[in-house]
Amino acid sequence: MRVGGFVFPSMRFEFNTPTRIICEPGAFRSLGPLVRHLMPPIDERNHRALIVTGRIPRHSEALMAAMQGTQVDCVFHAVSGEPDIECIETGTSVARQEQCRLVVAIGGGSVLDAGKAIAAMMANDGDLLEYLEIIGGGKPLAKHPAPFVAIPTTAGTGSEVTRNSVIASPERRVKVSLRSPLMSARIALVDPALALSLPPEVTASTGLDALTQLIEPYACLRANPLTDALCLEGIERAARSLTVAVEDGRNLRAREDMAVASLFSGLALSNAGLGAVHGLAGPIGGMFPAPHGAICAALLPHIMEANILALRERDPNSASLKRYQHLAQRLTNQAGADAMHGVEFVHRLSAQLKVSPLAKFGITPAHIPEIVEKAAHASSMKANPIALTPGELGEAVRRAL
């Protein structure tokens, strides 16, 4: 592009967000009026919402209190662990039978993903499998989902602002996505105070998942100026507050930082993409009963190192190498840090937070070839800053054992 005699490189990017993001301590108290305002006026006699919660719905009483006076009846659907196809189909059936008009999901990333998928299937005909990628037909959603409100109680996945739901297929030993630009939440209600009682282990694994989802979009091939800004701000917040939140769960300032970091990670990955950590995490999560955050935490430093070494060897002039250097400087708060200092920082952080090795979940070296083969089909791999060889991917997994 030529402007005034100067030639500029062309730039084009898109950025999508939910209709509304509300982020502040105590925001949860505004849930009732927000839900009542979203209720479609299809039938004035039927104001019913499906409430998707975790297996132990810690926040159900507070949710019911927030909904008082709204004349909205609540129908509950509990999600046990990470959602699978049966969980989504059951929730959709309940919502339809009870004639629910919208969905509110309150919990961790698995709960939010379940609520998001149920809201989508409430409005679209056919079987869920028709719409799933890789194992299904990949059919696009024809209709907008039912209104969906996402309320995260952990700071890690950023699922409140993503446009896909990760769903397990146990019989196929794989996780896949229901994905559509129509699947953004109508409202993402981010209240850092809801995470104050989160246990240290969960705080650590989900927080490292958020950090992964900030590092990968910044280093990936689809980064853009808006996602860069979100990633760098989020990385600074996570670097200074994750350890504090783990060691002092009642520290609201640290919880605020991690809530923002997680939120920004969801916006970044939705608009830029991820990388090999998530490319491997999907197959591992489908094959073994391992929490997604714990998998990402174990893999992150090893994939960072593999990417940097591969770039130095095969593409030494790559802009991605400079991005890893910028990441290291933000992580360490040292202007002179190079790319490998970032890897060292993440290694130390993982050790400090007692990240479990993948072997804890039953993964052995014998499983690595199958994991790597399945990861080759993962959409996240397409945005990795360099195409890692099967040997490089396998070695990263082996080091994470």
Quick check: 3 pLDDT over 60? no
Residues 83 and 204 in one domain: no
Identify the three-state secondary structure at position 185. Answer: coil
Residues 139 and 269 in one domain: no
Q: What is the mean pLDDT of residues 230-249?
A: 96
Identify the three-state secondary structure at position 144. Answer: coil
Residues 183 and 234 in one domain: no
Quick check: 168 pLDDT over 50? yes
Q: What is the CATH number of the domain that holds 304?
A: 1.20.1090.10
Cα(78)–Cα(174) distance, integer angstroms: 22
Q: Residue 58 — left, alpha, or beta (φ > 0 → left; ψ -120 to 50 → alpha)?
A: alpha
216 touches 274 (CB < 8 A): yes
Cα(322)–Cα(141) distance, integer angstroms: 39
Residue 10 domain flag = no
Question: pLDDT tens digits, residue range 60-104?
Answer: 777 888 888 788 888 999 998 889 999 999 999 999 999 999 999
If pLDDT is split at 50, 70 and 90, which confidence band does 18 have? Answer: confident
Residues 149 and 268 in one domain: no
Residues 191 and 169 in one domain: yes
CB-based burial, 56-72: b 16+ in 10 Å, e otherwise = ebebbeebeebbeebeb
Instruction: State the pLDDT at residue 16.
Output: 82
Q: What is the mean pLDDT of residues 148-157?
A: 94
Residue 7 domain flag = no
Instruction: State the pLDDT at residue 344.
Output: 96
Distance of CA 214 to the CA centre of its chain: 10
Determine phi and psi for 215, rounding to 5 degrees. -70, -45
In this prediction, what percent of the chain has a pLDDT beyond 70? Answer: 95
Specify the amino acid at residue 253: R
Residues 147 and 270 in one domain: no
Final residue in a domain of this structure, among 195, 214, 248: 195
Residues 215 and 360 in one domain: yes
Residue 93 domain flag = yes
Domain count, the chain: 2
Quick check: 5 pLDDT over 70? no
Residue 394 domain flag = yes
Residues 168 and 223 in one domain: no
Residue 61 domain flag = yes
Structural domain including 321 reads 200-400
**Out of 103-107, 265-269, 289-293, 320-324, which region has the weakest mean confidence (pLDDT)?**
289-293
Residues 49 and 82 in one domain: yes
Residues 240 and 159 in one domain: no
- In order of 136, 268, 314, 367, the CA distances from 82 in angstroms are 19, 23, 38, 22
Residue 365 domain flag = yes
**Residue found under tokens 């999901």:** 105
Final residue in a domain of this structure, among 165, 195, 225: 195
Q: What is the CATH number of the domain that holds 74?
A: 3.40.50.1970
Q: Which parts of 7-132 fold into alpha helices (H)?
A: 31-38, 60-67, 85-97, 109-123
What pTM was computed for the model? 0.93
Question: pLDDT tens digits, residue range 93-122?
Answer: 999 999 999 999 999 999 999 999 999 999
Q: What is the mean pLDDT of residues 362-383?
A: 94
Residue 285 domain flag = yes
The rounded radius of gyration (Å) of the Cα atoms in the chain is 21
Residues 356 and 218 in one domain: yes
Final residue in a domain of this structure, among 195, 227, 258: 195
Residues 258 and 318 in one domain: yes
